[in-house]
Amino acid sequence: MRNKIISGTLLFPFIISCTGKIQQEKPNVLFILTDDHAMAAISAYRSGLSTLAPTPNIDRIAKEGAIFQANYCCNSISGPSRAAILTGKHSHKNGFMRNGNQGFDGTQQTLPKILQANGYETALIGKWHLVSEPTGFDFWTILSDQGEYNHPDFITGKDTTRHTGYVTDIITRFTKEWLDKRDKEKPFFLMMNHKAPHRNWVPAERHYRLYEHTLFPIPENYFDSYDNRVAASKQEMNIYRDMYEGHDLKMVTGTDSDTLLYDPWPHVFIDRITPEEKARFFEAYRERNNDFFSTPRTEKEIAEWKLQRYLQDYLATIKSVDESVGEILDYLKEKGLDKNTIIVYTSDQGFYLGEHGWFDKRFMYEESFVMPLLMSYPSEINPGTEIKGLTQNIDFAPTFLDMCGIEIPEDMQGQSFRPLLGGEIPESWRESLYYHYYEYPGFHSVKAHYGVKTMRYKLIHFYEDNLWELYDLQNDPNEMHNIYGYPDMEEVIQKMKKELVRLQEMYEVPKELCE
């Protein structure tokens, strides 16, 4: 491979071998993946919400490198998104279209396998959530299924062991331990996969009261009536109707009670912690909850109270992730690894923080479709770079291979977004993205749908009911007005449908999956 120069800087640092010959040093890759981290909950994206709950360490990656403004997933649900990241392919191609299916096919071509075959030492630490056993990793230790926030079980190829402590802190410690013990003669590819901030949003004990007195802004469409949006009206992911009062909202009652008002899954948290930890947990929430139950409130006020409790816990859970990122960034700098390591921070999809009245994800609407993506690499990305081109999680694998000087397999459906890293959008760059969600019937009752997005418009087809939605994102960024069928939109509709068919043909989506 020829030495590539970008902005006057050689792509890879050079080292002198023992023979005196100049060799290229391939970059390391640290891929930090969180679960359900909304873009609006990262202060580098400057939302009103995140200014009250800043993420200064995650922001460091953007400050020292690039922030992506239009990065999206291809299927907004945990397992399928992870499979797309590993393979560079849409769900129908990698075979993992729904959570909890028969498991990810680990025999297929994946990013870690390709890197491994090209001299990289590979590791996976944290959440896997693909049912099958990881392949392509020299080392792996993964959480059992979704994992637990406190005293989690970790699975290796040999055993399952419960570890004392908070899951985010443990994953951070394991990551540093592996970095200390790795083969220093090889470049590394490390996936650091956090559980947080997945439901049920249990903060570290040190952060139980972090946002106790913070009132977060209420989205203007929190009480959405879903006019002309049939599928949106039939979901079961509403904060004030569908959240569990114990499991999700931690509604401890009574001065001396050690029980939750309602907890359908007690083993998820309460039965795992020690009696002393349990007492401190209840104490942290009891006073606030007693005030809630003793104060008369209207239905609207109850709904707003539940939103505040959700956001307080969700954002307090992210605080530990931000601390973890800071600890790892400091470690890399201390060890002299910061200059030659591609650092990536992202999530498996977006998440609703009260928009449309919701939590969770799944829909092709912006909040769950868009993924945060921050990336630094001093040899190639200038500090403070803003990337506005359309990118997708299927692009991660080909991009990393490209940056590591490894040929991209022709069957990968994503494309390297390396040409965007200078901050400009090449004329040849894509102008649309394809999305497909399959899991219906399923949890939260979100109808199966596919669609196409351009910079301005989005067309969605809920195909089992043959319902269409069209949004003008320029004039309706909150996607409140379905303009499909409007006479003045006919030309746009036909153009978007033509583009949708083109993408389905290009990605070889079987027709039987679209009916």
Strand, coil or helix: what is 108? Answer: coil
Q: Of the candidates 279, 309, 339, which is a domain's last residue?
A: 309
Task: Answer yes or no: do 244 and 98 share one domain.
Answer: no
Residue 16, domain member (yes or no): no
pLDDT at residue 279 greater than cutoff 90: no
pLDDT at site 269? 65
Q: Of the candidates 402, 427, 452, which is a domain's last residue?
A: 427
Residue 15, domain member (yes or no): no
Residue 179, domain member (yes or no): yes
pLDDT at residue 265 greater than cutoff 80: no
Task: Answer yes or no: do 56 and 96 share one domain.
Answer: yes
Task: Answer yes or no: do 212 and 194 share one domain.
Answer: no
pLDDT in tens, 209-247: 999 999 999 999 999 999 999 999 999 999 999 998 888
* Cα–Cα distance for residue pair 199/202, rounded to 1 Å: 8
Task: Answer yes or no: do 343 and 392 share one domain.
Answer: yes
% of the chain beyond a pLDDT of 70: 91
Q: What is the mean pLDDT of residues 369-387?
A: 98
- Dihedrals phi, psi of 482, to nearest 5 degrees: -75, 115
Residue 2, domain member (yes or no): no
Task: Answer yes or no: do 188 and 212 share one domain.
Answer: no
Domain containing residue 334: CATH number: 3.40.720.10
Residue 56, domain member (yes or no): yes
Residue 165 — pLDDT band, cuts 50, 70, 90? very high
pLDDT at residue 134 greater than cutoff 50: yes
Q: What is the dihedral of CA 128, 131, 133, 135, to 10 degrees?
A: -60
Please tell me the total count of domains within the chain.
3
Task: Answer yes or no: do 363 and 293 share one domain.
Answer: no
Chain mean pLDDT for the chain: 92
pLDDT in tens, 467-503: 999 999 999 999 999 999 999 999 999 999 999 999 9
Task: Answer yes or no: do 408 and 337 share one domain.
Answer: yes
Task: Answer yes or no: do 368 and 232 share one domain.
Answer: no
Structural element, H or E, at residue 142: strand 139-143
Give the residue carrying structure tokens 């990810």. Answer: 104
* Cα–Cα distance for residue pair 90/435, rounded to 1 Å: 9
For the chain, the distance separating the N- and C-terminal CA atoms, rounded to the nearest angstrom, is 45
% of the chain beyond a pLDDT of 90: 84
Task: Answer yes or no: do 270 and 176 share one domain.
Answer: no
Domain that holds residue 275: 208-220+228-309
pLDDT at residue 28 greater than cutoff 50: yes
Q: What is the mean pLDDT of residues 8-27?
A: 48
Task: Answer yes or no: do 165 and 38 share one domain.
Answer: yes
pLDDT at site 478? 98
Domain containing residue 495: CATH number: 3.30.1120.10
Cis before residue 219, ω within 30 degrees of 0?
Answer: no
pLDDT in tens, 283-299: 899 888 888 988 999 99
Residue 318, domain member (yes or no): yes
Task: Answer yes or no: do 120 and 36 share one domain.
Answer: yes
Residue 493, domain member (yes or no): yes
Task: Answer yes or no: do 264 and 284 share one domain.
Answer: yes
Residue 14, domain member (yes or no): no
Q: Of the candidates 309, 326, 349, which is a domain's last residue?
A: 309
pLDDT at residue 17 greater than cutoff 60: no
pLDDT at residue 82 greater than cutoff 70: yes
